[in-house]
Amino acid sequence: MEVTTLLADPRVISLETIRSSEKSLTLAVRVVRSTAQCPRCDRASERVHSRYIRRVADLPWLGVAVRLELQARRFFCTNTLCRQDIFCERLPSVVARYARRTARLNDALTYIGFIIGGEAGARIARELGMTTSPDTLIRRIRQSATPEAPIPRVLGIDDWAKRKGQTYGTILVDLARHRPIDLLPDREAATLAAWLTAHPGIEVVSRDRFRAYKEGIARGAPTAIQVADRWHLLKNMTEALERWLNRQRPVIQQAAKDATASQEVVIEESVATHALHAPVTPQLQRSMEQQATRLSRFQEVKELYRQGATIRGIAAKFRMHRRTVRLLLNADECPKRAPPRRRRNKIAAYLPYLKQRWAEGCHNASELWREIKAQGFAGCESAVRHFIAEWRLNVEPELRRKRHLSSGAPIRRVTIPGARSVTWLLLHDESKLNDQQRAFLTQFCEQQPEVIIAQKLVRRFQHLVSRRDVAAFDEWLTEAKNSKLPELVNFAAGLAGDAAVRAALTTKWSNGQVEGQVNRLKMIKRQMFGRANFDLLRQRVLHSG
Ligand SMILES: [Zn+2]
C-alpha cells in the first residue's frame, strides 16, 4: 500500500472544493477527462447523457473521516453497431463500480485486517477515522486472492490443533523458501493426496511418522522421497522407553523406597515433574495405578496405529469401543478420568469453607469433616479425604518441612518418580544428577538390570540420529531387535519398515522450521478469538508468511 497523493488518482480526478464539518471533510471532485470508453465496445464517447453525484469514503485525514463527492457522468455510446445506448463512466483506479469506499481505503482496511484481524482491526480503523466493522474486514480478508506460491521442491508437513486435542489440520511449508504455502482442514490421507496431485513436481517431503501422511504422500506424490522428521524420531524413541518404564512401575516404586531408606535425610524435593508425594492412601495408590495403566494403553494404541493397525483391530485387541480408540488417537495427552460427579456435587457447597480452613492451616481430614458435618454436610469422611489428598500434593515442600519440624519427629517421605521422570533421569548427563537421583538409579539398575540395555539403546539412537550415521543405524536395529524389550523391539521394527527413516539419516531436510510456522499460526488463531474459521485462518497465515 502506497499513498503519496491527496487525491486517489490525480490523473483521473481533480479537486473542486473542500468543505469541512466537525467530524468530516468533504472533497468535491470531478473527472478530468472529457471522454469515456464504452464498456461494451471500447469506443470513446464525448456525448454526455447526464450527471450524478457519487458519495464514497476515502482515506481519513489525520483521524478525520474524508468523503469524496464525485461528479460522475453517463455517456451515450456513439457506436451505432453497439447494443449499449447509455453507460456510466468507470474509474477503477479511484473507486470500483457500486463501491462505497475508494479502492485505496479498501486496500488499507484489508491490510489492517490481515495484520491484526477483524475485531482489533475494526477498533483501530475507527480510531483512525475509517468507519468499518469487524465483518467488513473479515469479508475483505476472505475476498482477497490467495497468494500464488510456486510449487516447492521440498515440502514439510505437520499437524496443528484446531481445537486442542480434538481436531487437527495440516500445515504445508516450503522448506527451501521458509514459507507456509497451504493449510489443509484435516489430517486425512485423502486430503493430502488430493493436494499433492494438484501440485505435481515435489521431490522431497519431510513428515512425522503419522501414518495418514505416509499414505497420503504415497498416493499423491509417489515419486517424492519421504523423509521422517528427525525430531519426531527422537520423540518416538523416548516414548517407547517411557512405555517400557510404565510397565516397570512396581520396580520403580521399590527402588525409590530402598533409595530413600539408604539415606539419612528426608526427601522433600521432587526429582520429577510427575512425582507424587506420600502419604499415599490406598485409594490414591489405586487411582495412580489406574492412571498408569490408562497411560500405557493410550501410548500403545497410538504406537499400534502408527505401525499400521486398523481402528477396528485396536478396538478388538483392547476390548474398547471404536469411538474410544478414535478419541485416544486424536488426543494429545492421555485423557484423565473425570472425578466421580456425585461426590463432587455433594461436597461442592462446602468447598469454599474447606479451602478457607485449609489456608488457615487445618489440614486434618477428620477434623474438617466434623466441621462441615456440623454445618449439614451429608457425605462421609472419605469424600473430604479425597479432596484433601489432592490439595496435599500441592503443598509447598518448604511448608511441609516446617510443619514436620514443629510437630516433632520427621516422617520419612518417598518420592516415586513417574515414567517420564525416569526417562529424563536415564537420558540426562549423569554427572549432573544429585545424590538422591543417583541413589535411585543405582537401586533401579540393580533390581531391573534390563534398564541398562534400554538406556544404552536410546542413547545410541539419539547419538546416531544427531550425527546422521546410517552405518550405525543398521547395527543399532539388529541390537534393538535382539534386546528382548518388547517396546524397543516394536519401535525398531517400525523404523525398519519405514524407508523415510533411512532417508532422515541421509538428507539434510528436517521439519525444524515447521514448528515455528505452527507457532505463528497459533498466534494468529488466538487473535481471531471465536472467528477462527478455517478459510479465514488460511488466508491470514498464507498472507502473513
Ligand atoms: Zn458501445
State the CATH number of the domain containing residue 225: 3.30.420.10
What are the b/e assignments for 167-200, b being 16+ CB within 10 Å?
A: ebbbbbbbbeeebbbbbbebbbbebbbebbeebe
Residues 134 and 175 in one domain: no
Decide if 355 is inside a domain: no
Three-state DSSP class for 253?
helix
State the angle between helix axes of 282-306 and 322-330 in degrees (0 to 180), rounded to the nearest 10: 90
Tell me the C-alpha distance between 95 and 430, whole Å.
71
**How many Å lie between the centroid of ligand 1 and the Cα of residue 289?**
84
- Tell me, yes or no, whether 165 and 126 share the same domain: no
Confidence band for 274, pLDDT divided at 50, 70 and 90: very low
- The predicted-structure confidence for 226-252, as pLDDT tens digits, reads as follows 999 888 899 899 999 999 999 998 899
Question: 36 CA distance to ligand 1 centroid (A)?
Answer: 10
Q: Find the 46 Cα to ligand 1 centroid distance in Å.
A: 12
Position 150 in a domain: no
Among the three residues 89, 120, 143, which one is the final residue of a domain in this structure?
A: 143
CA of 41 to the centre of ligand 1 (A): 4
Residue 88 CA, ligand 1 centroid: distance in Å: 11
Q: How far is the CA of 80 from the centre of ligand 1 (A)?
A: 8
The reply to whether 54 falls in a domain is: yes
Yes or no: say if 43 and 79 are a contact pair by the CB < 8 Å rule.
yes
Segment 160-174, tens digit of pLDDT: 888 766 788 999 999
CA of residue 92 to ligand 1 center, whole Å = 18
> How many angstroms is it from 47 CA to the middle of ligand 1?
12
Angle formed at CA 189 by CA 188 and CA 193, multiple of 5 degrees: 125
> Is 61 contained in some domain?
yes
CA–centroid distance, 240 to ligand 1, in Å, is 75
Query: Is residue 88 in some structural domain?
Result: yes
Q: Is a pLDDT exceeding 80 seen at residue 106?
A: yes
Domain-ending residue, one of 108, 143, 178: 143
**Is 102 in the same domain as 187?**
no
Question: Both 62 and 86 in a single domain?
Answer: yes
> Are both 25 and 119 inside the same structural domain?
yes
Is 123 found in the same domain as 62?
yes
Asked whether residue 167 falls in the same domain as residue 222, the answer is yes
Handedness of CA 426, 428, 431, 435 (dihedral sign): negative
CA of 85 to the centre of ligand 1 (A): 7
Ligand 1 centre from 37 Cα, in Å? 8
CA of 76 to the centre of ligand 1 (A): 8
Ligand 1 mean position to 53 CA, how many Å?
A: 23
Boundary-marking domain end, from 92, 119, 143: 143
Quote the cell numbers at residue 162. Answer: 484446531
Q: Separation of 231 CA from ligand 1 center, angstroms?
A: 65
Asked if residue 313 is part of any domain, the answer here is no
Task: Please check whether residues 19 and 133 belong to one and the same domain.
Answer: yes
71 Cα to the center of ligand 1, angstroms: 22
Q: Are residues 210 and 108 in the same domain?
A: no
CA of 12 to the centre of ligand 1 (A): 21
Cell of 371: 466441621
Tell how far the Cα of 97 is from the centroid of ligand 1, in angstroms: 18
Q: Which pLDDT value is given to residue 404?
A: 47
170 and 129 within one domain: no
**122 and 38 fall within a common domain:** yes
State in Å: Cα 96 to ligand 1 middle: 20
User: Are 99 and 26 found together in one domain?
Assistant: yes
pLDDT digits (tens, 9 = 90+) for 47-82: 999 999 999 999 998 889 999 999 999 999 999 999
Neighbours of 466 (CB within 10 A): 10
How many angstroms does the Cα of residue 82 sit away from the middle of ligand 1? 5
Residue 194: give the domain boundaries: 155-229+510-544
Cα of 38 vs centre of ligand 1, distance in Å, is 5
Cell of 469: 550415521
**Spacing, Cα 173 to ligand 1 middle (Å):** 49
Query: Cell match 546422521: residue?
Result: 468
Q: Which helix H or strand E contains 512, and what residues bound it? A: helix 512-527
- Residue 301: pLDDT over 70: yes
**Count of Cβ atoms closer than 10 Å to residue 491 Cβ:** 26
Residue 504: inside a domain: no
User: What total of structural domains would you count in the chain?
Assistant: 2
Predicted confidence at residue 262, as pLDDT, reads: 59
Spell out the residues 6+ positions from residue 95 whose beta carbon is closer than 8 angstroms to its own: 8, 54, 56, 68, 70, 101, 102, 103
What mean pLDDT is predicted for residues 262-280?
Answer: 42
In a domain, 492, yes or no: no
